[in-house]
Amino acid sequence: MSDQLPFLFDIPTVTELTGKIKSLLEQNFNDILVEGEASNVKQSANGHIYFTLKDSGAQLPCVIWRSTVQRSGIRLTDGQQIVVGGDLQVYAPHGRYQLIVSLVQQAGIGKLQQAFEELKSRLKSEGLFEDIHKKPLPRFPKTIGVVTSKTTAAFQDIRSTLEKRWPMAEIKLYHASVQGVNAAPEIVKGINYFSRTKNADLVIISRGGGSLEDLWPFNEEAVARAVFDCEIPLISAVGHEVDFSISDFVADLRAATPTQAAVLATPDINEIRMQVEDLTRRLELNTKGAIQYYKDRVQSLSRSHALLAVQQKMVQARSDIQNLTARLSHQTISSISERKSHLQKLIHQLDKQNPNAALEMGYTRIWQDSKWIKTSGELSTDQDITIEWKDKRLNFSN
């Protein structure tokens, strides 16, 4: 091509060229199906879901309009292997194309099996399957959370088994789809709910048997990550004994069936009752045995020479105490009697020495100048005198 274009050559504008591309693509890629892995899933504030469908060699921008989301109830998470259907559309202002999705299904068994092996290998290399991360189950759970569909036989099996084995446990069901493209996001929400609220002692995620496509939600990376991050013990019970899922490898414990999950999660109340009865009998026997042992021991000691000697000493000591008590009592009574007699004598003597005794008998006492006149020689005839009776005194002037 020459450096200069012919004058008459019709050069299109960007808009014109994009319009031709838009017409070409949208007319020839209408109502198509394409398979890949969902990535960068985001839901906008107005309800549209944007994501990228990718494989090892390319990426395809996709959008699910809000009306389709509301009508079909589609939910997506990163890592899901899906088949989507829709129309290819060119968005001219940005010069990019995207798939307008109207249908979402899980991928075929071949692709799913490949995705299963790849995810299993990758998560194993990250250490998500290591025993060091496994949490022990509580021995006597009070509350058991179950993430499954309320309409499945799996939930009925779990509930009936728990009611027989451990009827005091409360069952909390978080209803979630267990099949289809919406199942993985709902299972993740259920696991996160119990992990966040911690209103259960352990969690069981479960569904019955089925094909690889049916069981695929439990092989999604988002579910595996939620199981690993769950802060309370979790049992994975997916499918039948021969079925294995990614969640089985990550969970703290894998159960072959939903019924076995209920068995592994709880003790058998009948066994507990038998153990209690056995322990009660053993305790009763041990108690009776101990009582009889000490009874025999006491009787043996009662017949021993050492104990007899001690008893004799106690009898002698008791006799000595009684004798001492009697002697002390006699001495005390005698001493009190002697002191009482002596006290009476002293009182009698005091009565004799009482200067007012004569007054009590009717005699009088003469006072002169505040002096008791006991003889006639002591009396002065020119001074006043005072005569004292037992009840009063009277003054007389000369």
Is residue 254 located within the same domain as residue 298? no
Is residue 164 located within the same domain as residue 261? yes
CB 257 within 8 A of CB 245: no
Does some domain include residue 26? yes
| pLDDT tens digits along 360-379 | 777 787 787 778 777 877 77
Task: Look at residues 211, 244, 267 and tell me which one is the last residue of a structural domain.
Answer: 267
Other beta carbons within 10 angstroms of residue 363's beta carbon come to 11
- Rounded Cα distance, 359 and 381, in Å: 24
CATH assignment at residue 101: 2.40.50.140
Measured CA to CA in angstroms, residue 227 lies from 161, 209, 263, 314, 342 at distances of: 23, 20, 20, 77, 106
- Rounded Cα distance, 52 and 45, in Å: 18
Is residue 46 located within the same domain as residue 79? yes
Can you tell me which residue has the tokens 């990426």?
59
Q: What is the three-state SS of 33-79?
A: EEEEEEEEEEECCCCCEEEEEECCCCEEEEEECHHHHHHHCCCCCCC
- Rounded Cα distance, 22 and 128, in Å: 46
Is residue 167 located within the same domain as residue 277? no
pTM of structure: 0.60
Is residue 172 located within the same domain as residue 91? no
Is residue 258 located within the same domain as residue 162? yes
State the amino acid at position 393 in one-letter form.
R
Does some domain include residue 348? no
- Rounded Cα distance, 353 and 346, in Å: 11
Does some domain include residue 339? no
Is residue 203 located within the same domain as residue 103? no
Report the residue count for the chain: 398
CATH assignment at residue 226: 3.40.50.2300
Helix (H) or strand (E) holding 396: strand 393-396
Task: Look at residues 267, 291, 325 and tell me which one is the last residue of a structural domain.
Answer: 267
Task: Look at residues 245, 267, 289 and tell me which one is the last residue of a structural domain.
Answer: 267
Is residue 101 located within the same domain as residue 174? no
Does some domain include residue 347? no
Is residue 27 located within the same domain as residue 102? yes
Provide the number of structural domains found in the chain. Answer: 4
| pLDDT tens digits along 288-339 | 777 888 777 777 766 666 666 777 788 787 888 888 887 887 888 877 878 7
Which structural domain, as residue segments, surrounds residue 287? 270-307
Helix (H) or strand (E) holding 324: helix 305-352
Does some domain include residue 32? yes
Tell me how many helices (H) and strands (E) the chain has.
Answer: 12, 14
Does some domain include residue 388? yes
Does some domain include residue 343? no
Sequence-ordered alpha helix ranges (H) in 209-304: 212-215, 221-229, 246-250, 258-265, 269-302
- Is the torsion defined by CA of 293, 299, 305, 308 positive or negative? positive
Is residue 262 located within the same domain as residue 284? no
- Is the torsion defined by CA of 111, 114, 120, 123 positive or negative? negative
Is residue 175 located within the same domain as residue 236? yes
Does some domain include residue 91? yes
pLDDT tens, position by position, for the chain (398 residues)?
Answer: 555 555 555 788 898 888 888 888 888 888 889 989 999 999 999 999 999 999 889 999 999 999 999 888 888 888 888 889 999 999 888 888 999 999 888 787 777 888 888 899 999 999 999 999 999 999 999 999 999 999 989 999 999 999 999 999 999 999 999 988 899 999 999 999 999 999 999 999 999 888 888 899 999 999 999 999 999 999 999 988 778 899 999 999 999 999 999 999 999 988 888 888 888 888 888 887 778 887 777 777 666 666 667 777 887 878 888 888 878 878 888 778 787 877 777 776 666 656 676 677 777 877 877 787 778 777 777 777 887 787 877 877 76
User: Of 249, 198, 202, which Cα lies nearest the Cα of 223?
Assistant: 249
Is residue 255 located within the same domain as residue 301? no
CB 273 within 8 A of CB 153: no
